[in-house]
Amino acid sequence: MNSEKSNNLKQFKFRLLNSKLFNDSFWAIFGNFAGKGLSLLAGIFIAKILGKDIFGEFSIIKGTVISFSMLSTFGLGYSSTKFISEQITDKSSLVTDTIKSVLTITFLFSSIIGAIIYKFSNDIALALLNAPQLNIILKIVSLWIIFNALTTSQIGILSGLGKFRSLAKINILVGFFLFCLSIFLTYFFRLFGAVYALLISQIINFILNSFSIQKSIQGFPKSSKRNLELNFKILKFSIPVTLQELLYGFSTWLTSIIFVQYLDYGQLGLYNAAIQISSIILYIPGILRNVILNHFSKTNSNKSYQILLFKRVIFFNLVVTMIPVLFVIIFGQKITEFYGTSYQGLEILLILSSITTIFASIGNVLTQYYLSIGKNWTIFFFRAYRDIIGLLTFLLIVNYFSLENATKTLLILNLIFQSTFVLLLMINIKKYNCE
């Protein structure tokens, strides 16, 4: 009996170690845990050094970069993962054509947007951010946007190529540089130092990704002709993905603008401190998005296996999300104390934000599944409901009611709309699988 159990255990271990999904997931988790974990830890130290008011300014600058980068990538990060995952088995020139198209389009769009930010930095700082002192920093950000957009597309390309081990190594190196630079530069140069640390780390990330891509495609044939049909196909697929990312990015950015215009940078700092913890919780589900999309795209021809894979990934995401959520609920007071005395009232915000991550984790898997089966527009309309209605509701509340803790109200709204978003996706996916 014991020998039979031992054999079964050995067989399970053998299947697990030889599973492509397991290996890809392991490297994605390991690399991001070590690398991006250092980045998030650096963010906590930045918050502690700057205090909630200046950290609020830093948060809105960072949010500006993320929002405009989402627009300038044109959704090509996800598109490149899907297309290259499907093309790579043939070792055709379409792989190199796709990479060239994705990077060219990303560079063009990000350069245009970066130039606009640079040109109108004074107007944006004064009229939108209500902080004219951020004018110079926005000019620095215009360059950061270009490298951030290119890096996002590069990650999609490397994910499509299945180079998760290479991505892991790069993430560790970049995380180390960012951690060291952030603490050193922020301590001596405050807000400017924090921004420069992010810019330098982003450039390092871009260079390392470029080397990895060139090394990975050495065995693929190169096409000398411009593939306009492929460009059109990629852009057609990317439009709803772009709108999704744009919607999320700008709703997040506009949330910060509402804080600045109707409330203050202190409450924005509290909100972003709570969101920062939820980002840590969502790291494993988040970093597996490209792995999941890669494997879902490869199993489109085998629907029964795809559904089985879907259920396994949902279960895994729930487990890895629930553990840190419970940790935050139990040790929320200790985490708040670490941030410092200026972050009073943060504990309840951490709990609300962490509970929302449970639904966000499930939503990540559902989104990748919809993308893999080409239901891009469906995702867009459901996201539009979640982001636009949620944002308008928050705007109405802060406009017509005097709220001492608007941050708590916003996090409750996030929980309600995120859970409804997941419910709508689940109902729709059952209809699709029954067809």
- pLDDT tier, 12 (very low <50, low <70, confident <90, very high otherwise): very low
| Contact criterion met (CB below 8 Å) for 405 and 266 | no
The residue ranges of every structural domain in the chain are 19-434
The yes-or-no verdict on residue 193 having pLDDT over 90 is no
- Three-state DSSP at 325 gives helix
* Cβ pair 365, 316 in contact under 8 A: no
Tokens of 187: 């301590």
Rounded to whole angstroms, the Cα distance separating 105 from 107 reads 6
Confidence check: pLDDT of 397 > 50: yes
Cα distance between residue 235 and residue 240, in whole Å: 9
Least confident span in 12-26, 181-195, 204-218, 252-266: 12-26
Mean pLDDT for the stretch of residues 175-194 = 86
* Per-residue pLDDT tens digits for 309-344: 788 888 888 888 898 899 989 888 888 887 777 777
* pLDDT at position 235: 75
User: Which pTM does this prediction carry?
Assistant: 0.67
Q: Which two tokens stand for residue 322?
A: 């629930």
> What pLDDT is recorded for position 211?
92
Confidence of residue 210 (pLDDT cuts 50, 70, 90): very high
Taking only the tens place, the pLDDT of each residue in 244-287 is 777 877 787 788 778 777 777 777 778 888 887 887 788 777 76
Asked if 47 and 276 count as a contact pair (C-beta separation under 8 A), the reply is: yes
User: Which pLDDT does position 200 carry in this prediction?
Assistant: 92
Q: How confident is the model at residue 26 (pLDDT cuts 50, 70, 90)?
A: low
